[in-house]
Each structure stands twice: as C-alpha cells, then as structure tokens.
C-alpha cells in the first residue's frame, strides 16, 4: 500500500514537471498526448491542473472518458481561454450493437403490451357497463309494470271496500217472520248477478 502511494506521488511529480518543462517562454506548450506545440488559446487545463490541447482532450472525452489522461482523476470541468467548460456525461446506446437494439425493441414491446392490456380492460369495462345498463333498464321496465299492476289492483280493492261500506236494507222472511236486515251492497249485487232479479 505504501509502495503504491509513493509510486503514485512520484508519477504525479514527474507528470507535473514534464508539463512545466514543456511550456515554452513564447506562450506555447507541448501537449503530453500528441507532443505537439500548442498556443495558449488551444490549451485546456483540467480541474486537477493538467494541461492538454483542445483536440486531444475532446478526443479523450469523445471516447466516453471523463477521467484525466494523466492522473485518472474524474474531470468535472476544464478551463479554455479563461472559460470554464463543464463536462456532462451522456450514455448513448450504440445503435449498431444488436444487444442494445434488442433491449430497445423489448422495452417498446413491453410498453405496447401494457397499453394493449389497459385498452382491453377499458373495452371490457365499457361492454360490462353497456350490459349492466340494459339489465337495469329491463328491471326498471319490470318494476314499472308491477307498479301499474299493483296500482290497478289497489284501485279494485278500494272499489270493493267502498261497496262493503255501503249497505242496503233487505226484508228477509225467516222462521215465519219478516225481518229488516242490512247487507253489504257488494254481496247483494253478486247475488242478483248470479241468481238474477228476485221477483
């Protein structure tokens, strides 16, 4: 562990000294990647204070690297022409990779299946609601019919009750006597209707 730490420290010192020595007095420096002399306008300084040319560092980032080429520390920004440029890592799927394409197709198929399921449930619910509405209309019609039948029967019962309440006096000959009796008019009408008028 100590050997690794000391080697890491030596590597950083050597890298810093190379960068310092590569800077020329005329405002240009040598990029440690391409070894070309670069002006200050093309110089990029990482947050770990390592210097690279813009072409090399952009090429490094284009290969999905976000670490420093010198110390492998994570780079969140670099400075170029006194402007701070932030690094945003975006994971793009490789369209030429069949595994990624199959994964995307599977995700889309799962979404389509889910939407089919939701649509089927809604369709079944709509059909059930339609069937239930028809059944309820039939029940309402049946109840209306029963209500009218019941109303008619109640009216007949009321007529019969009114006839029971009305009485008529009839003279009856019973045990050799004439008696004056009251009978419900309804029964008298039934008897007259059945037996015919009594003379």
pLDDT, tens digit, 9 for 90 and up, residues 51-92: 899 889 888 888 878 888 889 888 888 888 888 888 877 665
Distance, in Å, from the CA atom of 38 to the CA atom of 137, rounded to the nearest integer, reads 88
CATH 3.30.40.10 boundaries in the chain: 2-86
**Do residues 82 and 88 touch, judged by C-beta distance below 8 A?**
no
Pull the structure tokens for residue 19: 């960068």
Chain-wide mean pLDDT for the chain?
Answer: 78
Each residue's pLDDT tens digit, 97-110: 666 667 888 889 99
Is 29:37 a contact under the CB 8 Å cutoff? Answer: yes
Q: At what angle do helices 98-165 and 185-195 cross, to 10 degrees?
A: 80
Q: Are 68 and 45 in contact (CB under 8 A)?
A: no
Q: What one-character DSSP code corresponds to residue 29?
A: E
Helix or strand holding residue 10 (H, E): helix 2-22
pTM of the model: 0.36
Model pLDDT, residue 123? 95
Q: Which CATH architecture has domain 2-86?
A: 2-Layer Sandwich (3.30)
């Amino acid at each position: 562990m100590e050997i690794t730490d000391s080697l890491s420290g030596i590597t950083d010192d050597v890298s810093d000294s190379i960068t310092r020595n590569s800077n020329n007095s005329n405002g240009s420096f040598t990029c440690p990647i391409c070894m070309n002399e670069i002006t200050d306008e093309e110089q990029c300084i990482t947050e770990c204070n390592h210097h690279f040319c813009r072409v090399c560092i952009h090429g490094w980032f284009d290969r999905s690297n976000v670490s420093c080429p010198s110390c492998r520390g994570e780079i969140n920004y670099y400075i170029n022409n006194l402007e701070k440029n932030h690094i945003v890592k975006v994971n793009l799927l490789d369209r030429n990779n069949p595994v990624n394409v199959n994964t995307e197709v599977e995700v889309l198929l799962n979404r389509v299946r889910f939407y089919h399921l939701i649509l089927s449930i809604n369709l079944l619910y709509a059909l059930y609601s339609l069937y239930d509405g028809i059944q309820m209309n039939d029940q309402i019609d049946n109840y209306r019919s029963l209500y009218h039948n019941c109303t008619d029967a109640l009216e007949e019962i009321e007529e019969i009750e009114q006839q029971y309440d009305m009485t008529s006096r009839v003279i009856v000959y019973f045990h050799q006597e004439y008696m004056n009796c009251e009978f419900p008019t309804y029964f008298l009408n039934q008897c007259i209707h059945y037996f015919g008028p009594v003379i």
